[in-house]
Each structure stands twice: as structure tokens, then as C-alpha cells.
Structure 1
């Protein structure tokens, strides 16, 4: 069984696989294409990625890839805790520039589904955090993009608790959403 709930932006969903435990530990099915298809999540996953962040307050994002290499993502934490943030970058969307956040952790055993048309980033909340995620398109350096984590037009409230975030050079130099001008259009009703 799989629990699924939509966040404030309905396309962003939290998934919680069921654990089966006994004295030895637990077993869980963290991905099953047919079960996801039964609930309308029919994505052809192409690649698995894993990141490790040694320091708390490591901030990765906000990232996305332009078409034709745009990526859906299914994100989970193997060790530690993160605040996972998703921003709607689809022009014409009723939730354009809005963001949602969800804490993911190894203990909570939850996952976040991030569809194409959304920028994604996370902040580690504990040392030695490992994040694992599936993507629906392979990495393409020519299509890889970033948006500033602190773009005032978006206004993400990162819980930095007075700490400076640990950033890559790429993320420190990322453009604002207006400068990035992503190529995603809202197609819903």
C-alpha cells in the first residue's frame, strides 16, 4: 500500500511507502511502476541519482532541466533530513512563482514527486545527509539550469537559523527566475 497526498500545489505529491517490520528490521517497496500507474503516476524513469552532503545547511538548487531533457523527480532521503522545496516555473500557471516545502527524512520514510515544469532544491538539516532520486530524463549539461535560492520574486523561507548556506559555485551564481526565463508553459485548465 502507498499513501499519497497532494501539497498546496496539487501537482506536487508526497508518497509514503508502507514498511513491513519485525525483529530483524523492515522491508519496503519504495518503487513499483504498476502501482504508481494505478494512481495516475505513469512516468518512465530513466536514471537514479544520489547525493551526499557532509554539512548541515548545504543548499542544492533551485535546479531544473529545459526541454527536451526536462525531468520529473521522485525524491527521498536515505540518511538524515532535508527541507525539500519546489517552485512552479510554468508561465501562465495559477501557482506560477509559488513554492511549497516538505521535510523529507529517513525516519519519516516519505518521498516527494516533482513534475516537469517545477524547479527543485533542498536544504540539509543534519550532517551526513544522503538523498536519492529518480529522474525521467538523463542529465544534460546543455539543458541544466538553476535559479537563485534567494530570489526575492519567489521568497522561499529557508530555515537557515542564521547560518550561511553551503553552496556550489553554480548555485551561488544562479540567475533570478526572471533572468533564467524557463521554457515551460502551463497546459492545465
Structure 2
């Protein structure tokens, strides 16, 4: 019980330090800059808050790297950053009253089953088997919002849900399969143009 309290206090302290470091960095961002491209004032406000909080997100990634299951922005209905952690100890939400004139909330969700590192490792360790299961595999990533491994593939033979279940058995983590008709061409990527 005492060890659990120490972990909670330590986690809260690290989160507070990361947020205080962000407060200093936030001051360096010029919120009045008129270079942001958005069709509406709400879109420009969202972009300002996003740019002003990039440093905070990096600090949160560093602070919580051992238990990090994901970090994402959610701007509905308010500006907020959601930090998903595998640790079960609760972490108190943080509120910033003035991020480029907007209120920003940092919420923590704890008890998530897999870290981003574990999801990526499952992909790395099983890439050959996945390519055999999905011959038209076009891309993979670990979704920070849902905690799933996402496989994007050309249409598969047979039932997609059966392929998804087999991928989940293989990886040992939640999987979402997205079917696409668009085949990836290496020359289509800007950094690989002319490589064909």
C-alpha cells in the first residue's frame, strides 16, 4: 500500500514538472502570429493551441515513457490532451487557463493494457508472418487513441474478420484491419520520388 502511494506521488510530481516546464516553453510561442492557415477563427485557434502545446506533448512522452500507451489531442468540446498510461495509479487532470487565450485540459487514462512500445514490438517481431497473412499489406501503425495495431491492406481472400482474428492471435494485441483499394507505390512518397 505504501509503495503504491509513493508511485502515485512520484507520477503526480513528474506530471507537474513536465507541465511546469511546458508553461515556460509556451511563453516562447507567439500566439498572436498571423501565419496560421484556417478557414475559420475556430480552426486558427485550434492550430495556435496545437503549436503552443507541442512542447508539452514531448515532455509528457518523456515523463511517462515507461507506461505510455498513447497521447492524442481532442478538441471537442474543449481543447484537451489525453495521455493513456498502462499504470493503474490515478493521475490528476491538469488545467491550463491561458494557452493562446484558450483553456486546455490534460486528462490521464490509466490501466491501459499495452504501451506503444509493446504494440510496435509486436509488429516488428511478426512482420514476416503478417506479410504472409496479408499479402497486400500496405502499412501498419499503433493507434495511440485506441491502443490497437492497425493493418492497412489491399482486399484479402476470404473473410476480413477471420484475418483480423488470426492477426490478433499472432500478435497477442488488439488489431484493426482497414481495407483499401489504393496500392502504395514507392515513387508516390515525396522522399522516395524517382526511386523506381
Q: TM-score range by the shorter chain?
A: under 0.3
- Structure scoring higher RCO (CA < 8 A, sep ≥ 6) equals 1
TM-score (normalised: structure 2): 0.22
Larger relative strand fraction: 1
Q: TM-score, normalised by structure 1?
A: 0.23
- Give the helix-richer structure, 1 or 2: 2
